[in-house]
Amino acid sequence: MALLKSLVPCLAIVIFLSISSLSEAKEFVVGGKKKSWEVPSSPDEFNKWAEKIRFQIDDSIVLKYDGKSDSVLQVSEESYKTCNKSNPIKSYNDGNTKITLDRSGPFYFISGAEDHCQKGQKLEIVVLSANHHSGGHSPAAPSPSPVVNHHHAPAPAPHNGGSGLKAGFLGGVAVVGILALV
Ligand X SMILES: *[C@@H]1O[C@H](CO)[C@@H](O)[C@H](O)[C@H]1NC(C)=O
6, 69, 87, 100: which one binds ligand X (CB under 6 A): 87
Scanning residues 134 to 163, which ones bind ligand X (CB under 6 A)?
A: none
5, 33, 41, 86: which one binds ligand X (CB under 6 A): 86
- Least gap, CB of 86 to ligand X (angstroms): 4
- Least gap, CB of 49 to ligand X (angstroms): 27
**Quick one: 41 or 86, whose CB is closer to ligand X?**
86
- Least gap, CB of 63 to ligand X (angstroms): 22
Scanning residues 19 to 38, which ones bind ligand X (CB under 6 A)?
A: none
| Bridge pairing between strands 60-64 and 27-29 | parallel
**Quick one: 18 or 111, whose CB is closer to ligand X?**
111
Q: Is 68 within 8 Å of 38 (Cβ atoms)?
A: no
- Least gap, CB of 160 to ligand X (angstroms): 40
82, 91, 143, 149: which one binds ligand X (CB under 6 A): 82
Interface with ligand X by CB under 6 A: which residues?
Answer: 79, 82, 84, 86-87
